Structure 1
Amino acid sequence: MASHRRPKQPSRTRVTVLTTAAAAAVALSAQAANAAPSEKPSKDEVKAKVDKLYEEAEQATEKYNGAKEKQEKLQREISTVQDNVARGQEELNDLRDGLGSMASAQYRSGGIDPSLQLFLSADPDDYLDKASTLDQLSGQQVEALKKIQDKQRDLAQQRAEAAEKLKDLSATRTELGNKKKEVQGKLASAQKLLNTLTAAEKAALEEQEQRATRSSERQALNTSTGSSTPVGHGSGRAGAAFAAAQGRIGSPYVYGATGPSSFDCSGLTSWAYAQAGVGIPRTSQAQANAGQRIYSTSDLQVGDLVFFFGDLHHVGLYAGNGQVLHAPRTGTVVRYESMGTMGGPFMFGVRV
């Protein structure tokens, strides 16, 4: 007689585990489905994030510029100290040779005790003349030894100074490398975000950028003449610097660049003033102390330096009519722009 066995039922524990796992999987799938639409940011969200990254890149760029300027200064100073040390060593060698020559001459004259020389001398008057000469040589030796000691101390101090500067240079080079990596990292992150956009979205952003540029340029034109001259007119060296910058309109922004074909913000202003025969510091923060500060926009004149953001990481040239001529950021060119659309507050101007 065939036996009828009941099918083995899964344990209650196993059923519970399977049910829980299935529920979790369903929940995760639902979350993924809900999250999927928001994974890809909108064009405007991408632009906002990219603009923020560009601003952070510009902040890092000015620190990079400062480290680079310090490196170049240290290299010049080290070269000068090393040249001085080399010349000092030659002078020390000459002093030592001179002392050696005097010592040899004294030895050849006979280094005998003076009283014994006088006792043996057939001509006391001749001896006294020689003794006078020996006393003179002895005085020269003392003076030579003093000069050698002074030169040795001087060389030791200069070598210590060179060692400190070389140590500072090494730290500055490390800082420079770190800032360069930071800038490149920000720019790479911005490009990665831009790459998430479709071709149509990229084209729309580019058109938006071009419209903003054209609008700023129109506002900067002299409406009465229609010329490409801003409403304000520069004079003196500020006017000459502004005219030089005008000639670079359309040149691309490149971090760390100081012209003549590409610029960052402080690279443009320092280059422009150099064309006017005026040397100003390399970084925007240092340029903020290059002249008389002007806090009212109504007092600004064409060619004055104008600074933005609390940390002064952006600088341009005042163009008149509330406009700035500047190198804005990566992906843009030297252009006019309204002071109200700089992305950060106007802090003050500087008249060099």
Structure 2
Amino acid sequence: MQVASHRRGKPVGPSVLSRAAITVAAATAAMLTASGGADALPGPSGGGAGPGAGSGSPEDVRRQVDALYAQAEAAGQRADSAQEQERALLHKAALLQQELAEEQERANVLADRLGAMASAEYQRGGGMDPVVQLLFSAHPGDYLSRAASLAEADSRTGDELERLHAVERELQQGRVEALQQYAELEQLRRSIAAGKAEAQRRLGRAQALLGTLTAGQRDQLQQQEDAAAQLAAQAAGAALPPGEGPASAGAALALAAARSAVGMPYVYGATGPGAFDCSGLMYWAWRHGGVALPRTSQEQAFAGRRVPLSEARPGDLVIYYGDMHHVGMYAGNGMIIHAPYPGARVRYESVRDMPAVAVVRV
């Protein structure tokens, strides 16, 4: 049974974070994960503890499950980022392959032209001058590097040969670049697989923790979550105070799209229309508002102008946690719409239920 989680953090307003500070925070989180530090769950006093640590009360289990959900979502966002890089690199590699094919065609044309010139030279009975003989050399590049100049050849033959040599150099450089791109692609694919595996591992641990509760305790947690979600939906649906509506027509359209997604399931890497992850929901909703946002929550944190949480307007992006691994859309009246975590559905929640670090007006 999937028990929902409040994921409540200390209510804080947005802090002014520099790109450098955010990069350090994200890198630190990644290092902790790689070293096993992020596997340590917070115990009752805030220290590390494994599954089943602490009192084992429903609140204690929920707190540990919250930490695992947050870590799983952070891993999912890293996988999303790697997938975006993979798509960009695949596009770049396709363009490079096209360029290589065009360069190869140029080389073939030049070689054919020089072959015809060599044949004509031979048929005239004059033999072949030293430059034309390069056509039949196993390593014409070596010959050219040793030649002081092309003065011994007629101008037309020398120019053609130099063009061929230049094209061959470009082809060689292109092949080296292609090999580097394929190596980078392989590294990105390993990163994607690792991120997804890490997310699934943490979700499995969360489910194991929830399994330590009795059916009655799980039902109680679910009832609390359902009641909170209902209250949040009622608050979000109330009339907005004058002057506190969406800041633009695009924001109004994005908000309407996000509202239409309430109840849809969370799925890693999904961008709608039937399922979403947290940043995928923002990406999809703002496409309806006429804006192509970046794909991940970390990138979306820099997709517009920062405003204080106290001045948030419906449609604004609210970025959460120090490594910015979660994002929701402000819906007005102190509520957000977001895709919380796997197993949950898109829903309304208080804007202060998690630690907000930035509000972005697109």
TM-score class, shorter: 0.7 to 0.9
Identify which of 80, 91, 94 aligns with 2:109: 94
Cα distance in 2 for partners of 1:301, 1:202 equals 36
Bigger shift: residues 232-241 or 261-270: 232-241
Cα distance in 2 for partners of 1:55, 1:274 equals 26
Cα distance in 2 for partners of 1:327, 1:70 equals 23
Deviation at 1:224, TM superposition (A): 7.9
Cα distance in 2 for partners of 1:329, 1:113 equals 75
Deviation at 1:223, TM superposition (A): 4.5
Change (3 A) 1:112 1:98: closer
Q: Are positions 1:109 and 2:124 aligned together? A: yes
Higher Rg of the two aligned structures: 1
Change (3 A) 1:113 1:193: closer
Deviation at 1:298, TM superposition (A): 3.0
Bigger shift: residues 208-217 or 236-245: 236-245
- DSSP-derived class of the 1:341 partner: coil
Q: Are positions 1:139 and 2:155 aligned together? A: yes
Bigger shift: residues 138-147 or 315-324: 138-147
Change (3 A) 1:113 1:333: closer
| Correspondence for 1:257 | 270
1:273 counterpart letter in structure 2: W
- More RCO (CA 8 Å, sep 6+): 2
Report Cα offsets for 1:171-209 as digits up to 9, x if no partner: 111111111111000000011111222222222221111
Report Cα offsets for 1:285-333 as digits up to 9, x if no partner: 1111112122x12322211111111111111111112211111122321
| Correspondence for 2:62 | 47
Identify which of 276, 282, 291 aligns with 2:295: 282
TM-score (norm 1): 0.76
Contact 1:234/1:240 (<8 A) preserved: no
Cα distance in 1 for partners of 2:284, 2:346 equals 13
Contact 2:118/2:128 (<8 A) preserved: no
Change (3 A) 1:148 1:209: same
Cα distance in 1 for partners of 2:301, 2:87 equals 21
Report Cα offsets for 1:107-144 as digits up to 9, x if no partner: 22221699xxxxxxxxxxxxxxxxxxxx9x93322221
Query: What are the within-5 Å matches in structure 2 for residues 5-20 of structure 1?
Result: none
Contact 1:234/1:302 (<8 A) preserved: yes
Q: Are positions 1:152 and 2:168 aligned together? A: yes
| Correspondence for 1:25 | none
Identify which of 341, 348, 352 aligns with 2:358: 348
Q: Are positions 1:79 and 2:94 aligned together? A: yes
| Correspondence for 1:241 | 254
| Correspondence for 1:208 | 224
Identify which of 328, 344, 350 aligns with 1:338: 350
Bigger shift: residues 215-224 or 74-83: 215-224
- DSSP-derived class of the 2:329 partner: strand
Cα distance in 2 for partners of 1:325, 1:161 equals 44
Q: Percent identity?
A: 42
Q: Compare the two structures and name the one with the higher helix fraction.
A: 1
Change (3 A) 1:38 1:53: closer
Deviation at 1:42, TM superposition (A): 2.1
- DSSP-derived class of the 2:154 partner: helix
2:273 counterpart letter in structure 1: P
Change (3 A) 1:45 1:113: closer
Identify which of 181, 184, 190 aligns with 1:174: 190
Contact 1:258/1:270 (<8 A) preserved: yes
Report the number of matched residues: 288
| Correspondence for 1:291 | 304
Contact 1:81/1:162 (<8 A) preserved: yes
- DSSP-derived class of the 1:340 partner: coil
Cα-Cα RMSD? 2.5
- DSSP-derived class of the 2:330 partner: strand
Identify which of 320, 330, 339 aligns with 2:332: 320
TM-score (norm 2): 0.74
Contact 1:232/1:321 (<8 A) preserved: no
- DSSP-derived class of the 2:199 partner: helix
- DSSP-derived class of the 2:352 partner: helix
Cα distance in 2 for partners of 1:94, 1:286 equals 46
Cα distance in 2 for partners of 1:112, 1:79 equals 44
Contact 2:240/2:333 (<8 A) preserved: no
Deviation at 1:263, TM superposition (A): 0.8
Q: Are positions 1:269 and 2:282 aligned together? A: yes
Contact 1:308/1:348 (<8 A) preserved: yes
Identify which of 307, 311, 320 aligns with 1:308: 320
Deviation at 1:235, TM superposition (A): 2.8
2:233 counterpart letter in structure 1: E
Change (3 A) 1:199 1:103: same
Cα distance in 2 for partners of 1:235, 1:336 equals 21
